């Protein structure tokens, strides 16, 4: 195979004495760089990747392997990062508000998630999964803890979960702009009010008060420049919208109306149910990672 410019996955796996599944995992996570002519065509891995992996040693030793991890203390940073992400996953994560116009991920996410739009579909990644060591780390977890055998299936369900959250959140976003006549943004347009956090507030209020019959209590504050702000009565510094008094009165009515509608919306109920399932499926992973952290501290 010498002198080749590109290798197939099967050829690359044979050279490194690894399974094709492992090579596909490396391509998916970015450990290996490859290309496909179309979405469904076969991967082509450049010869330069083989040279990079081989370096001055053998092909087999160049690939990530279990022997590179002396003990769990070597993976302490990845363990804590993964546990932190898993412990914070929920339907209110800022990742669901990924920007549809640019495809860029949100600037913050409590669960350290990145989200972006790929051909009209939301893609969600845990930051720790971007680490080149993660495939080997996950293999170790699977071999030590049987519960991690379901991790890949759980990841698929997580992406589906956030897709549901994203679709509903952006439906609320669009409906709020349409019914209030105001655009979402932090920068105001001359002589026109604008939304700041109304869509997020409606979405989160509906999640918290599903089927309760509660209604949001909102107030309007006027500043020294003559503009008014719409705020929850109990959190005066949480600005939902800004504009004239008339615009805020109208926005207040729409916000209460939409919050009441979505509070009994079946999709909110579905998201709450799925969130409970995700949390239940995540608990064994978090417990196992806690055991690793305890073991790692003992090793160090």
Q: Domain residue spans in the chain?
A: 6-63, 65-300
How do residues 210-238 score in pLDDT, each as one tens digit?
A: 999 999 999 999 987 778 999 999 898 99
pLDDT at residue 65 is higher than 60: no
Q: Are 222 and 206 in contact (CB under 8 A)?
A: no
Phi/psi for 10 (5° steps) reads -65, -45
Q: Output the pLDDT for position 113.
A: 86
CA atoms of 141 and 85, how far apart (whole Å): 16
Whole-prediction pTM:
0.73
φ, ψ for residue 230 (rounded to 5)? -90, 125
Q: Are 39 and 110 in contact (CB under 8 A)?
A: no
pLDDT of residue 207: 97
What's the pLDDT tens digit per position in 250-279?
A: 999 999 999 999 999 999 999 999 999 999
pLDDT of residue 250: 97
Q: Please tell me the class of the 6-63 domain.
A: mainly alpha
The neighbouring-strand residues paired with 183 are 194
pLDDT at 133 (0 to 100): 84
* DSSP alpha helix (H) spans, 91-150: 134-144
The distance between the two most distant Cα atoms of the chain, rounded to a whole number of Å, is: 76
Question: What pLDDT shows up at residue 300?
Answer: 58
């Amino acid at each position: 195979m010498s002198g080749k410019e590109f290798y197939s996955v099967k050829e690359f796996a044979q050279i490194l004495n690894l399974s094709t599944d492992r090579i596909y995992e490396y391509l998916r996570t970015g450990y290996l760089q490859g290309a496909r002519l179309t979405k469904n065509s076969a991967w082509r891995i450049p010869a330069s990747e083989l040279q990079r992996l081989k370096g001055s040693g053998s092909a087999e030793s160049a690939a990530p392997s279990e022997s590179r991890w002396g003990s769990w203390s070597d993976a302490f940073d990845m363990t804590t990062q993964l546990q932190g992400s898993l412990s914070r996953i929920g339907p209110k994560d800022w990742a669901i508000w990924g920007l549809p116009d640019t495809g860029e991920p949100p600037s913050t996410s409590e669960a350290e998630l990145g989200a972006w739009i790929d051909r009209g579909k939301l893609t969600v990644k845990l930051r720790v999964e971007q680490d080149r060591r993660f495939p080997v780390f996950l293999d170790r977890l699977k071999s030590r803890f049987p519960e991690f055998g379901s991790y890949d299936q759980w990841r698929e369900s997580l992406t589906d979960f956030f897709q549901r959250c994203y679709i509903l959140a952006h439906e609320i976003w669009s409906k709020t702009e349409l019914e209030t006549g105001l655009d979402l943004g932090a920068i105001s347009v001359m002589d026109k009010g604008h939304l700041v956090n109304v869509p997020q507030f409606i979405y989160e209020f509906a999640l918290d008060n599903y089927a309760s019959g509660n209604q949001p209590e909102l107030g309007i504050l006027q500043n020294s420049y003559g503009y008014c702000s719409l705020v929850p009565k109990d959190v005066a510094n949480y600005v939902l919208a800004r504009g004239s008094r008339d615009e805020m009165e109208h926005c207040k009515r729409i916000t209460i109306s939409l919050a009441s509608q979505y509070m009994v919306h079946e999709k909110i109920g579905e998201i709450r149910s799925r969130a409970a399932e995700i949390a239940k499926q995540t608990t064994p992973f978090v417990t196992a990672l806690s055991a690793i952290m305890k073991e790692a501290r003992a090793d160090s």
